[in-house]
Chains A and B, each alone.
Chain A
Amino acid sequence: MRFITLITKNVIHRPMRSALTALGLSVAIAAVIVLVGISWNFERSFLAIYRSKGIDMVIVHAGSSNQLSSSLEVGMVDRLRRIEGVADAAPTLVDTVAFEDQNLASVLVDGWEPDSLLFKGIRMLSGRPLRRGDDRSVLLGRVLALNLDKKADDPIQVSGESFRVVGVFESDSLFENGALVLPLTVLQKMMGREGQATGIVISATSSDPAFLDSLRRRIESQIPGVAATPARDYVVADTQIRLAKAMSWTTGLIAMVMGALGMLNTMLMSIFERTREIGILRAVGWRRHRVLVLVLGEALVIATAGTLIGGVLAAVGMQALMLSPTARGFIDPNIPIEVLGLALAMGIGLSLLGGLYPAARAAALDPTEALRHE
């Protein structure tokens, strides 16, 4: 008999309890994987936008925490273009619209100038890109087109106004795949924000961090009232992303602690019930550390089962989320391998923590006392 056989038999001997503990743990682990995975993808997806378009810096109104709440004059773009180190600059206006018939509560709308650098990194799947002089034309991201069941040349209502879909595009970013793009001037008029942008993106002549830092200082000194931030910092500092991350981590952590408490409860019960058995093990010469390893091993077997089930639950949960059209545009159902590894390590680590105290108690049992235990 192997030592692991003994461990496994002890776990299997209480099938209901072991299964329930593993299940509790698996739900906790699935929650961590799904929540952290989503916020991780959220951030990655944001970064992908900037990377694929060659955007090095984002300009917003000083004091704004994100693009949606920022406001800048579009005229500023020409001044920016003249600053040394700026290769190109493009204004963007961002808003959200609802498509109630399709149950889509908040779809991102981007207002872009037709020949803007923002069109880099998106591929037309059908139709054509925006052209100068386009008026009632929209581009749909791939996922949004699917959700709205629209294709190139279809008529479409946006915020009660009539448009025509001129093309469907695909982007590396989920956000853009779930968004629609309008000519900047058209969106400005719809929002009553003529001449304004929520942000201006800049592609610099070099992406070197030191260079970007000096460019940032040049921009901020030449154009008062704006904040220039390197794209990566901008994404990482974005309050929404930070909030999403903090919330997913907190929720995940709470779930994990509950899982560990479940493990603690199960293992404590199991060693109390087996007090006499543990006394016997000690009486036949088992060292304290072998008893410790036995109980920890049992916790580990349950944790491993819980982690595996948790992984499956997470995958299923992600797919279930994708059934919701609102989520479909924003959520990347692929679970990053890093998040998977992290959840695995956390699950096993916390379960071991939950198993450590019972194991230490079992190992500390005095054989005579344990043998008298009824």
Chain B
Amino acid sequence: MSDGNGAPILRAEGLVKYYPDGNVQALRGVSLEVRDGEFVAITGPSGCGKSTLLHLLGGLDRPDSGEVWFRGASMARLDLDAFHARRIGFVFQSFYLLPTLTAAENVQIPMFEGPWPRPERARRASDLLAEVGLSHRAGQRPTRLSVGERQRVAIARALANEPELLLADEPTGNLDSASQEEILRLLGQLRDRRRITLVIVTHSEEVARAADRRIAIKDGRILATE
């Protein structure tokens, strides 16, 4: 596989996922490629298997058959913890911030797996919060933040260990349209500044339109890609 621009950062081949409890065939053979620096939107009706696909692409779960490669290395043979800690960041619809911690502390959570001593962790967290425009909210707990602000904290947390790939599962699903705008703009900036690859599951037409490419899923299969 060739390196350089346009080489796939992610490749999936024939992904099948079956959930025995509920007897659900969530994915029925999905193959795709995501190139380095690309912004890909995954869309489809509820229950079609988008989250399942995203989790397989991010190595949170294993397929029943098929395989995922990250930069040419099979995920089945990767040190997944190290992969999660250093190469990839996750953003979720419900933010999942730790309620006991301030924004700055939440951003530091992934850094415990990194090489940074405590002062460095604090400094990096404040840089990241500045990057998502939340310096003034660093000391607040999540409950004191607006939903849009919470998602920005979650994005800063996903960037904590400088990943190459950001996977987001309906990151604007819980947001009003103004906050959605903000998040979309922020993601665009991150992409330009960090050359990060984005794979975003979304129901939102605006988000899908902002992407370079859209992969539409239905009933566990790829319906179309454009």
Interface size class for chain B? 20 to 34
Q: Assess whether B105 is in contact with A1, with CB atoms less than 8 Å apart.
A: yes
Of A124-132, A239-247, A282-290, A342-350, the stretch lying at the interface with chain B is A282-290
Closest chain-B Cβ to A367's Cβ sits at a distance in Å of: 5
Closest chain-A Cβ to B8's Cβ sits at a distance in Å of: 22
Interface size class for chain A? 20 to 34
Check: B157 CB closer than 8 A to any chain A CB: yes
Check: B100 CB closer than 8 A to any chain A CB: yes
Interface string of A258-284 (1 = CB under 8 A from B): 000000000000000000110011111
Contact of B90 among A277, A283, A286, A290 (CB under 8 A): A283
Closest chain-A Cβ to B75's Cβ sits at a distance in Å of: 14
Looking at chain B's contact residues, the main secondary structure is helix
Complex CA gap A2/B85 in Å reads: 18
Query: Contacts of A6 on B, CB cut-off 8 Å?
Result: 101, 105, 109
Complex CA gap A266/B108 in Å reads: 27
Q: Assess whether A9 is in contact with B55, with CB atoms less than 8 Å apart.
A: no
B76-90 contacts to A, CB under 8 A, are 81-86, 89-90
Interface string of A1-36 (1 = CB under 8 A from B): 111011001101100000000000000000000000
Complex CA gap A284/B113 in Å reads: 9
Query: Contacts of B122 on A, CB cut-off 8 Å?
Result: 1
Closest chain-A Cβ to B120's Cβ sits at a distance in Å of: 12
Q: Assess whether B108 is in contact with A1, with CB atoms less than 8 Å apart.
A: yes
Complex CA gap A286/B84 in Å reads: 8
Closest chain-A Cβ to B125's Cβ sits at a distance in Å of: 8
Looking at chain A's contact residues, the main secondary structure is helix
Query: Contacts of B84 on A, CB cut-off 8 Å?
Result: 282-285
Q: Which residue of A lies closest to B122 (CB)?
A: A1
Query: Contacts of A367 on B, CB cut-off 8 Å?
Result: 60-61
Query: Contacts of B157 on A, CB cut-off 8 Å?
Result: 284
Known: A10-B100, A367-B60. A284 touches B90 (CB 8 A): yes
Q: Which residue of B lies closest to A280 (CB)?
A: B96
Q: Assess whether A283 is in contact with B108, with CB atoms less than 8 Å apart.
A: no
Q: Assess whether A285 is in contact with B98, with CB atoms less than 8 Å apart.
A: no
Q: Which residue of A lies closest to B101 (CB)?
A: A9
Q: Assess whether B110 is in contact with A285, with CB atoms less than 8 Å apart.
A: yes
Question: Knowing that A282-B84, A285-B84, A290-B113 are A-B contacts, what are 17 other residue pairs whose CB atoms are under 8 Å apart, sorted by A's residue number?
Answer: A1-B105, A6-B105, A6-B109, A277-B98, A283-B90, A284-B84, A286-B81, A286-B85, A286-B109, A286-B110, A286-B113, A287-B85, A288-B81, A368-B55, A368-B60, A368-B61, A371-B55
Complex CA gap A368/B83 in Å reads: 16
Complex CA gap A169/B154 in Å reads: 76
Query: Contacts of A280 on B, CB cut-off 8 Å?
Result: 92, 96, 98
Q: Which residue of A lies closest to B99 (CB)?
A: A13
Check: B202 CB closer than 8 A to any chain A CB: no
Query: Contacts of B194 on A, CB cut-off 8 Å?
Result: none
Interface string of B105-139 (1 = CB under 8 A from A): 10011101100001001100000000000000000
Query: Contacts of B98 on A, CB cut-off 8 Å?
Result: 277, 280
Seen from chain B, the residues whose Cβ lies within 8 Å of a Cβ on chain A are 55, 58, 60-61, 81-86, 89-90, 92, 96, 98-101, 104-105, 108-110, 112-113, 118, 121-122, 157-158, 160-161
Of listed A283, A367, A371, residue having the most chain B CB within 10 A: A283
Q: Assess whether A285 is in contact with B100, with CB atoms less than 8 Å apart.
A: no
Complex CA gap A283/B96 in Å reads: 11
Q: Assess whether A285 is in contact with B105, with CB atoms less than 8 Å apart.
A: no
Query: Contacts of A288 on B, CB cut-off 8 Å?
Result: 81
Q: Assess whether A281 is in contact with B60, with CB atoms less than 8 Å apart.
A: no
Q: Which residue of B lies closest to A9 (CB)?
A: B100
Known: A284-B84, A284-B85. A290 touches B112 (CB 8 A): yes
Closest chain-B Cβ to A273's Cβ sits at a distance in Å of: 11
Query: Contacts of B101 on A, CB cut-off 8 Å?
Result: 1, 6, 9
Q: Assess whether A371 is in contact with B92, with CB atoms less than 8 Å apart.
A: yes
Q: Which residue of A lies closest to B92 (CB)?
A: A371
Complex CA gap A282/B104 in Å reads: 19
Query: Contacts of A12 on B, CB cut-off 8 Å?
Result: 100
Of listed A5, A9, A276, A284, residue having the most chain B CB within 10 A: A284
Contact of A285 among B108, B121, B161 (CB under 8 A): B161
Complex CA gap A143/B190 in Å reads: 80
Known: A285-B81, A367-B60. A3 touches B96 (CB 8 A): no
Q: Which residue of B lies closest to A285 (CB)?
A: B85
Contact of A286 among B61, B92, B112, B158 (CB under 8 A): B112
Interface string of A85-120 (1 = CB under 8 A from B): 000000000000000000000000000000000000
Complex CA gap A6/B98 in Å reads: 10
Complex CA gap A9/B108 in Å reads: 14
Complex CA gap A2/B83 in Å reads: 23
Q: Assess whether A283 is in contact with B86, with CB atoms less than 8 Å apart.
A: no
Closest chain-B Cβ to A371's Cβ sits at a distance in Å of: 7
